[in-house]
A and B are shown apart, each in its own frame.
Chain A
Amino acid sequence: TQLLEQSPQFLSIQEGENLTVYCNSSSVFSSLQWYRQEPGEGPVLLVTVVTGGEVKKLKRLTFQFGDARKDSSLHITAAQPGDTGLYLCAGVFGNQFYFGTGTSLTVIP
């Protein structure tokens, strides 16, 4: 059983479309991070959210941490081919660090 479930697992969209990726858990996390991983490389940190209800924007990417700190979402506006990659949420529960199952995004030109 995964502590952090992401949906959808796979997403293929046309350039210019909007999309939302979800990261859900039944457990409360003190903070959540979002990473992006490109093929053949390690994940790279995009953002860290700490406060319940927090919203952070990074250019066309908007990250939200749920009020109860059990879930998070990543919204991409006007997706571009450069957004293609694997998006991973991650957080600390207890004294362990867990990654989500991942969402593989393909943006078609």
Chain B
Amino acid sequence: DAGITQSPRYKITETGRQVTLMCHQTWSHSYMFWYRQDLGHGLRLIYYSAAADITDKGEVPDGYVVSRSKTENFPLTLESATRSQTSVYFCASSDLGVGLETQYFGPGTRLLVL
């Protein structure tokens, strides 16, 4: 089915472990985004990508790594997870960037770091 999917939907890990969250979209959108959502903070942009092999930092990039070797995939890696990275992570995509264009969001990944 067309759309944007995230995996896993739920993840429990321990402090110090590496975790990779996957995001896949079937629209061939140029832009892809990673956000984290925490109570009291709304959604905050972690990283975004304007095209394959082009990535840039958002508001809260520390502790995260992204890559985009293919247009349709945008994985987010926590190299050494910390408790403060417990959050709900949303991936999104859009055709022409942000502000005027619609961003389409995935269902989210709920991550718990013990």
Hey, which chain A residues are within 8 Å of B59, CB to CB?
96, 98
CB <8 Å contact, B100 and A48 = yes
Closest to A92 in B: B99
Other-chain contact of B105, A33, A42, A98, A102 (Cβ < 8 Å): A42
Closest to A50 in B: B100
CB <8 Å contact, B42 and A31 = no
Determine the distance from Cα of A61 to Cα of B98 in the docked complex, in whole angstroms.
23
CB <8 Å contact, A41 and B108 = yes
Is A44 part of the contact surface with B, judged by Cβ < 8 Å?
Answer: yes
CB <8 Å contact, B98 and A97 = yes
Known: A91-B99, A96-B58, A96-B59. A41 touches B43 (CB 8 A): no
Is A66 part of the contact surface with B, judged by Cβ < 8 Å?
Answer: no
CB <8 Å contact, B42 and A100 = yes
**Chain B: minimal CB distance from A105 (Å):** 15
- Produce 1/0 per residue, B62-104, CB < 8 A to A: 0000000000000000000000000000101000001110110
* Chain A interfacial positions (CB closer than 8 Å to B): 2, 4, 6, 30-31, 33, 40-45, 48, 50, 88, 90-92, 96-102
Interface residues on B, range: 20 to 34
Hey, which chain B residues are within 8 Å of A97, CB to CB?
33, 45, 48, 58, 98-99
Q: What are 26 inter-chain pairs, A to B, with CB distance below 8 A?
A: A2-B41, A6-B42, A30-B99, A31-B99, A33-B99, A41-B107, A41-B108, A42-B90, A42-B92, A42-B107, A42-B108, A43-B90, A43-B103, A43-B105, A45-B103, A48-B99, A48-B100, A50-B100, A90-B43, A96-B45, A97-B33, A97-B45, A97-B58, A99-B42, A99-B43, A101-B40
User: What 5 A-B pairs are tightest by C-beta distance, nearest first?
Assistant: A42-B105, A92-B99, A99-B43, A97-B98, A99-B42
**Chain A: minimal CB distance from B91 (Å):** 8
CB <8 Å contact, B42 and A2 = yes
Closest to A30 in B: B99
